[in-house]
Amino acid sequence: MTTGPAVDYFEIIHRHLPPDSPAYRFYLPHVVMVTAEALAVARRLGLDENQLQFIEEAGMLHDIGVVAVLGDQPGLSWRLPYICHGHEGRKILEAEGLPRHALVAERHTGVGITAEQIRQRRLPLPERDLVPDSIEEKIISYADLFFSKSPAKLWRRETVDEIRDELAEFGADQVKVFEDWHKQFGEGE
């Protein structure tokens, strides 16, 4: 099976997040590391070339919504709550004509956010399940858990225990999803 035309994700990134912007300094390293991790998982699982191409594109674009939540440059203040970056990323990628990539952007936060969690926590998100569905969405979301955009942690891969601890703050059900993904996607850590 041959792959379709590739998405020029750098063109999209640069259109929304110029390389000289302060956010670009954390955006690019983060998405490159997440994408590399996701592709390594996908290759171990034997995914086909079309799936690998999609994972590369969607991995590089999954956090594009940060541009909509960041305040005006040059500072990195927040215009919207950070939790909104996934939904805002969906809007951006749909406008770019990438509806499948847009779903990855919207659903990648943590292990996903259910409509019930949105209601209970009164999150400023559409009240629907924002949970990774396809294997590609799950792999990118899993890989994203290992890498922070925080400058202090930017170049460091988090441990499985650190991820468990972070997710535990949001409930045992979140940890369970991660554990299931780790059994499926991890390297036996």
Alpha-carbon distances, residue 149 vs 82, 135, 146, 153, 188 (angstroms): 12, 24, 10, 7, 25
CA distance 16 to 73: 13
CA 79 to chain centre: 20
pTM of the complete model: 0.92
Residue type, 181: W
- In which residue ranges of the chain is pLDDT below 50? 1-2, 73-74
CA 74 to chain centre: 24
Looking at residue 152, what is its pLDDT? Answer: 84
Which residue do the tokens 């949105």 mark? 118
Give domain limits for the chain.
Answer: 9-185
DSSP 56-99: HHHHHHTTTTHHHHB-SSSS--BSS-GGGHHHHHHHHHHHTT-H
Q: What is the pLDDT of residues 14-25, one digit of tens each?
A: 999 999 988 898
Q: What is the pLDDT of residues 94-127, one digit of tens each?
A: 999 999 999 999 999 999 999 999 999 999 999 9
On whether the 9-185 domain is CATH 1.10.3210, my answer is yes
